[in-house]
Structure 1
Amino acid sequence: MTQNPTRPIDPLLSPPTPPTTLQFVDISYRIKLTGSSADAGGKIKRMLGAAPPPIKEKTILDGITGTAEAGELLAVLGPSGSGKSTLLKILAGRMAGSHGGTLLANGRSAGHSLSRRVGYVPQDDVLYPHLTVRETLTYCAMLRLRRTAAAAGSWRERAAAQVEAVVAELGLAACAETVVGGVFVRGVSGGERKRVAIGHEMLVNPSVVVVDEPTSGLDATAAGRMVATLAGMARRGGRAVVASVHQPASRVYGMFDAVLLLAEGKCLYSGRGRDAVDYFAGVGFAPGPYVNPADFMLDLANGVTQIDIQDDETKASVKQSLISFYNSILAPRAKSSVNASIAATLASSVDRRCPTSGDRGDVIRSGAKEFTRVSWLCQFSTLLHRSLKERRHETFDSLRVIQVVAAAFLAGSMWYRSSIRDVDDRLGLLFFISIFWGVFASFGAVFTFPQERLIFLKERASGMYSLSSYFMARTVGELPMELVLPAVFVAVLYWMVGLRPETRAFTATMAVILGYVPVAQGLGLAVGAAIIDAKKASTVVTVTMLAFLLTGGFYVEKVPSCMAWVKYISFTFYCYRLLIGAQYREGEMMAYLGKTMEVVEQVSVLMSVVALAVMFVGYRVIAYAALKRIKV
């Protein structure tokens, strides 16, 4: 696969950065554990006034040192739990919290500005499933590529050309019009989906690309193609590419320029891939004939040797001795070797009169500002267009449409041609409508932010857009689509049950439901954004809707004084009040409603409208504030 010569990376949209060699010295990372205080016994002891147990720490990374050369592919190998993903997040500037050690870019301190020019592809492919490959990359380009005065007139055409260049470079032309897909949506293959995720980062022409487990879940052939793609990206663009690779085949291992081997958070080897076997043979660990070097190294990292030992106790003893040997001999030796290499690199950098830290930082920093500074209006319009395209599949899902239409016909059959004088039945119908759309809308919205959390965090960390533009596009985009099904529901049910036939009454009923649904959605959005965990958020919404249901004025007319205040924050109560007002005139209320007049007289129509309007805005303000507190 070669880059299309007719569609090169556009320097106006994505300014080239100087080749960057990334060096990391003594990278360490630890997490705090609460020990026994995390269990029930520890909590009971604290409640009884006992002294809290000392805080323990777990070392994830312990003094990792290495180099990712410009134009080369560095493979990070190691067993599960060795700290590969943590190291990659630190190198990409995506690790929350503090870590020890130093990051150098071309021998100079790498600050936050470099993270804007590092492309990071996480292990999980966080992409919208219903968008095609080309649409996915196009929206990303419109959000990430800078818009300059020189390119203002043809910016969209230039962005489209940039997308085509990336599609050609990553070999995605054959599947460009296929949806990306996901767990429940059939789309492109796993390898193609991973290349789409890499294409996200390639659009901005990064100087360093960090990819976590790009071959996970792929067969040997697809894994080989993926690694070949990464190696080609490094060599053609002069980029430093860092990838953690799980169980590579021997021919895949041959594509690695450099290898970093981790075990229990320590570095056992860091150097050229072709020299690894000779290095381990020099310290007493020679592989057998015809052994995959990667398998041999991973066996060593797991404390497994080629010695055939039958006794389990002896095996455990040998493994423990090996791990101790790694920690005391191999890890320090690997670190000293890399430190010497870094010192030599720094010396040669000075001899070649590399730009000073201020010069290099200015180049990187200015580029970061320009390519991430897309206007708020452009962000909003792009996100709105993307939201409409993606959300339409979920909003008008066949099961969702069947659910609403079936509920309308079922309710219409139950209350078919009911009379205005059948007060109990008519009030039951109006309250059913309030309940159905309160629950349906709030439960549909509660999963919005928990489901999009990974995409939201990844895109925000990349500086693609501001929180305000995302939230406004999300709010504006969902309103017109989410109101279609309630309108169909009312249109079907209203005439089946024989509600008041006047145009004013029908219009008022429709307006109440269409205004009520966004309020109920707001509750779901606020709870989902505040809790993020979908299961916990749905539990909170269930309890909240149950409280609103019981105090809504239908089941219990004389609510106990200790619970009476709940109905004044219940949108179900206000919706029920407005629906009654739409169906019964003032004289009919006195004649038909009886005790229900206590519910009607407690609040006026104007007060109900104002209350729903305040809730519409208030819930969304809460949701925005909850999203803003999430650390990116």
Structure 2
Amino acid sequence: METAEVELNDSQSQIKNGEALSIFGKTNRHVTLKFEDVAYKINIEKSGVLSRCCGPCRSKANSEKMILKGVTGAVFPGEMLAMLGPSGSGKTTLLTALGGRLGGKLSGTITYNGKPFTNAMKRDTGFVTQDDILYPHLTVTETLVFTALLRLPNTISKEEKQGVARLVISQLGLTRCKDSIVGGKTVRGVSGGERKRVSIGQEILINPTLLFLDEPTSGLDSTTAQTIVSMLWELAENGKTVVMTIHQPSSRIFYMFHKVLLLSEGNLIYFGKGSEALDYFLSIGHAPSVTMNPADFLLDLANGISTGDTGEDRGSLKQTLVSAYKGNLTDKVEKEVKGINYQSIDSMNDKKIGPWTTNWWQQFTVLLKRGVKERRHEVFSIPKIIQVIVVALLAGLLWWQSSIAHLQDQTGLLFFYSGFWGFFPVFQAIFTFPQERAMLMKERSSGMYKLSSYFMATMAGDMPMELVLPTVFVTITYWMGGLRPTASNYFKTLFVLLFSVLSSQGLGLAIGAIVMKLKAATTLGSVIMLSFVLAGGYYVQHVPIFIAWIKYISLSHHTYKLLLCSQFSMDEMYPCGPNVTCAVADFPSIKHVGLDHKEISVMAMFAMLVGYRLIAYLALMRVGVTPSKK
């Protein structure tokens, strides 16, 4: 799909003209977000015997749970809406629905300037997740530059996109740490507040008119949280529409919210100005008994806890508050929502706007460069290098200068090649997509790139790096192990092993993409690879006919066969006794596998190399993406 032509918005025009751009500057684009009677329910599978049965009893064992129960409201340009509520109240679900990222059993109406969620709206929307989903080994600058190259349209040049990223770094106060790696759970990097600002920077560098944030102050100290919310308040004051969930803001932060939405078990119990929240609850008989943070007071009420001496239990109080909202505020809110006039609001023209801001080749090249920068730290980690070298040296010493006179030893070394470099790539590749799942869902939901460009960039970036260590391994063990000391035999053996590594890597990618849970994926990978090794033709020569078919799909079998062919020929002889020679092809460990029909093994491994990756791609198509964008 070709990138559609897009009209320059005000910020991009400034970039084109070389003028200074400020993410906190006034904008001529505005979005009014309206949501009416939004409800959402999920299926709950009950535990126990009934949940494991089939047919009619299984349908009875499952039930539906309402997460959102008819939520209505509106947010206007220049407003910052905070959605409060205890854990499990539905505030994150509502935010995800408003951000156009929630499928399933969602009902009600959500509009943006009176229109449904479109490509234009996606292009103009920022969404900051609660967890900072960032690549740990990229620097702050690299993170924002790569995001700018992918998210900003081709109507501005590469240099101008990089300039936008540098400007965002400056205006978010990240200049001091711009060359530091972001870090993560196992990698030390920038502070939590700086990491959060990087996440926000990824979204605001497109200068969105509508910005969603899920718990932007989670895990931060009060000062850092105040700084971030102040920045968001400034964005709202300059015409943007800001919507966030927040769990327990300080009183200083609470009074910065233009509007507050309070949820209790999916029900609205307050929607209106933040400054009027306490007065409303006072009017219905609920007031804090002591001076306290208004947000804490609201959360107590949402949990069914009243500071007054009402004698109501929690469930009754929640229902009382729901009824009070319906009796006192519902009409006011619905009147406000229905009375919105869109004639004075600018709306982006969606007719010429496609789902992608850049073309396939641009996406591929940027993702390839980013992937190599990030993945090289994992592929060439010190523990992994030491592991391969130590095993290579140990194998070389164990098979030290074996010769054709010790044919059993040489076939054992070749089968060790097929076994070790069958397991090793599989368990490296299994981790690729499960670890990338959160990032893939986040970036694909933002419409940053096509799945095909991501997949091909991952394949192209990983292949060369994954072939370095097996090349080192073969180079060490080949000459120490006394295999045929000719360049032709060496390169044949190396080619077969690298061919096997790529096929094994494809199997690992397919398993990881299908299962997406590391523990289950590694278990499945172990079972499959052990089955392949057992059927490889080295351990068992007389396999019962009813299970002999496994060898035809065994990667170990085809690799072992081709490795044997790289060292021996059909008419070759070896000393099998004093002054006695025998045909290599008749040696027990070789005869069962055979030195003929090697073309079949080559074709089988090529089919595995391509087929496993095709399976992985098809499995990835179901990971958090809209079908039309695949």
Normalised TM-score (structure 2)? 0.90
Q: Does 1:390 align with 2:383?
A: no
Cα offset for 1:107? Answer: 4.4
Aligned to 1:126: 133
**1:325 partner amino acid:** T
Alpha-carbon contact 1:24-1:103 (below 8 Å) kept: yes
**Aligned pair in 2 of structure 1 residues 528, 42: CA closer, same or farther (>3 Å)?**
closer
Q: Deviations over 1:215-241 (max 9, x none)?
A: 1111111111121121122223x1111
What does 1:178-577 correspond to in 2, within 5 Å? Answer: 178-236=180-238, 238-307=239-308, 317-344=312-339, 346=340, 349=341, 353-354=343-344, 360=347, 363-366=348-351, 368-369=353-354, 372-577=356-561
Question: Which among 27, 32, 36 is matched to residue 25 of structure 1?
Answer: 36
Shift in alpha-carbon separation, 1:474–1:108, aligned structure 2, 3 A: closer
Q: Tell me how far 1:288 sits from its aligned partner.
A: 3.0
SS in 1 for 2:280: helix
2:95 maps to 88
Partner of 1:3: none
What percent of counterpart residues are identical? 45
Native 8 Å contact 2:39 2:106 kept in 1: yes
Deviations 1:476-497 (A, max 9, x none): 1111111110011111111212
Deviation at 1:570, TM superposition (A): 1.2
CA distance in 1, matches of 2:125, 2:237: 16
SS at match of 2:436: helix
d(CA) in 2 for partners of 1:476, 1:109: 38
2-side partners of 1:300 and 1:114: how far apart?
Answer: 35
* 2: CA distance, partners of 1:239 / 1:367: 23
Query: What is the rounded CA distance, in whole Å, between the counterparts of 2:297 and 2:564 in structure 1?
Result: 76
Deviation of 1:292 after TM superposition, in Å, equals: 0.8
Q: CA deviation at 1:366?
A: 5.0
1:305-359 deviation digits (Å, cap 9, x = unpaired): 11479xxxx6xx5323211201222255333221122234x2xx26xx436xxx8
Is the contact made by 2:99 and 2:212 (CA closer than 8 Å) also made in structure 1? yes
Deviations 1:162-212 (A, max 9, x none): 112221232221211111111111111112111111111112221100000
Runs of 5+ unmatched residues, structure 2: 1-9, 22-26, 574-581, 626-630
Correspondence for 2:143 among 127, 133, 136: 136
- Of residues 594, 599, 612 in structure 2, which corresponds to 1:601? 594
Contact 1:412 1:493 in 2 (8 A): yes
What whole-Å deviation, never above 9, does each CA across 1:46-93 have from its counterpart, x for those lacking one? 47x768427532110111112222122111111000001000000100
CA shift in 2, pair 1:565/1:603, >3 Å = farther
Match of 2:577 in 1: none
Q: Contact 1:408/1:492 (CA < 8 Å) preserved in 2?
A: yes
| Distance change (3 Å), C-alpha of 1:580 and 1:216 | same
Equivalent residues of 1:13, 1:146 under 8 A apart: no
2:168 corresponding residue in structure 1: 166
**Superposition deviation, residue 283 in structure 1:** 0.9
One-letter amino acid of the counterpart of residue 72, structure 1: E
Partner Cα separation in structure 2 for residue 366 and residue 577 of structure 1: 59
Root mean square deviation of aligned Cα: 2.2
Offset at 1:368? 4.7
Q: After superposing the two structures, state which structure 1 stretch, 332-341 or 266-275, moved more.
A: 332-341
Q: Find the aligned partners of 2:462 and 2:561 in 1 and give their Cα distance.
A: 26
- Distance in 2 between residues matched to 1:207 and 1:626, nearest whole Å: 34
Deviation larger for 568-577 or 165-174: 165-174
Cross-structure match for 2:611: 618
Measure, in 2, the Cα distance between the counterparts of 1:11 and 1:25: 35
Aligned 8 A contact 1:114 1:364 in 2: no
Flag structure 1 segments of 5+ consecutive residues without an equivalent. Answer: 1-7
Aligned residues between the structures = 598
C-alpha distance 51-563 of structure 1, shift in aligned 2 (>3 A): closer
2:3 counterpart residue number: none
Is the Cα contact below 8 Å between 2:289 and 2:308 reproduced in 1?
no
CA contact (8 A) 2:122 2:447 kept: no
Alignment TM-score, normalising by the size of structure 1: 0.90
Asked if the contact 2:419–2:533 (Cα under 8 Å) also holds between the matched residues in 1, the reply is: yes
Deviation string for 1:129-155 (max 9, x for gaps)?
Answer: 11111111111111111113xx4xxx1
Counterpart in the other structure of 1:43: 52
State the alpha-carbon separation in 2 of the partners of residues 254 and 541 from structure 1.
Answer: 54
Please state which structure has a larger fraction of its residues in helix.
1
Instruction: Report if the CA contact (8 A) 1:24-1:65 is conserved.
Output: yes
Deviations 1:533-573 (A, max 9, x none): 22221111111101100000100012211121111111111
Distance in 2 between residues matched to 1:13 and 1:566, nearest whole Å: 61
Flag the 1:385–1:125 CA change in 2: closer, same or farther, 3 A: same
Matched position secondary structure for 1:564: coil
Distance 1:332 1:549, change over 3 A: farther
- Residue 399 of structure 1 aligns to which amino acid in structure 2? P
Note the C-alpha offset of 1:574.
1.2
Find the residue that maps to 2:594 and give its secondary structure.
helix
Moved more, 53-62 or 434-443: 53-62
Change (3 A) 1:425 1:602: closer
